[in-house]
A and B are shown apart, each in its own frame.
Chain A
Amino acid sequence: NAGVTQTPKFRVLKTGQSMTLLCAQDMNHEYMYWYRQDPGMGLRLIHYSVGEGTTAKGEVPDGYNVSRLKKQNFLLGLESAAPSQTSVYFCASRTRGGGEQYFGPGTRLTVT
């Protein structure tokens, strides 16, 4: 099992550009999450999904959109990137009844 994988690992964007971050999990987990982590800070929840075709907003959803067309994939989109979105993005997944979240290795995004 690869667990949770994230693509890409690094990316540099110019202000106003768009991009999509891909999260994939091979553990058949129902729940998936996108977090951002700024330097010296804890993780903040952006969006989450409790199943295929369903998504919900977390603590800091503005400027992001998500889609969960397949159970194993959770996509995070930035339509018009801003410097304030420079951060490390982590994806996580877990089973419906479990408390443990499994995290991916992260995507380091810089917006100039």
Chain B
Amino acid sequence: LAKTTQPISMDSYEGQEVNITCSHNNIATNDYITWYQQFPSQGPRFIIQGYKTKVTNEVASLFIPADRKSSTLSLPRVSLSDTAVYYCLVGGKGAGSYQLTFGKGTKLSVIP
């Protein structure tokens, strides 16, 4: 499975847009890109998933360039409650596929 690389930590002020980039150079043709959010003492929670171009939902956008070797999670106008660890995963959706590792993720700290 494709390995991912993302920044260990990021700081942002409330109200700003935050972009977290994930590198996945050896992504496979049938791999999807999925982002999760984890608060302390809780299990990860799905944020968004995409295959190519741009995906948007009510909480975030995911930008994927044509070569799919990286992706960017965009959180609009963050608030203190967005302080969490964000994980980027790459893997297939088909039978037998699974995500091997979440890595260390990116710890986002939102400052008042």
Q: Are A31 and B98 in contact (CB under 8 A)?
A: yes
Q: Among the listed A45, A102, A106, which residue makes an inter-chain contact with B100, where contact means beta carbons less than 8 Å apart?
A: A45
Chain A contact residues (Cβ within 8 angstroms of B): what range?
20 to 34
Could you say which residues of chain A place their CB within 8 Å of the CB of B99?
Answer: 45, 101
Q: Are A42 and B98 in contact (CB under 8 A)?
A: no
Using A90-B43, A105-B42, A106-B43 as known contacts, say yes or no to A100 and B98 having CB atoms under 8 A apart: no
| CB nearest neighbor in B for A98 | B93
Could you say which residues of chain A place their CB within 8 Å of the CB of B46?
Answer: 100-102
Could you say which residues of chain A place their CB within 8 Å of the CB of B45?
Answer: 103
Q: Are A50 and B96 in contact (CB under 8 A)?
A: yes
Q: Are A59 and B49 in contact (CB under 8 A)?
A: no
Q: Determine how close the nearest CB of chain B comes to the CB of A44; give it in whole angstroms.
A: 6
In whole angstroms, how far apart are the Cα atoms of A40 and B111 in the complex? 21
In whole angstroms, how far apart are the Cα atoms of A101 and B99 in the complex? 10
| CB nearest neighbor in B for A42 | B102
Q: Among the listed B41, B94, B98, B101, which residue makes an inter-chain contact with A43, where contact means beta carbons less than 8 Å apart?
A: B101
Which residues 62-112 of B sit at the A interface, judged by CB distance below 8 A?
87, 91, 93-96, 98-105
Could you name 22 residue pairs across A and B whose Cβ atoms are closer than 8 Å? A4-B43, A31-B98, A33-B98, A41-B104, A42-B102, A42-B104, A43-B101, A45-B98, A50-B95, A90-B43, A97-B93, A98-B93, A99-B32, A99-B93, A100-B34, A101-B36, A101-B44, A103-B43, A103-B44, A105-B42, A106-B42, A106-B43
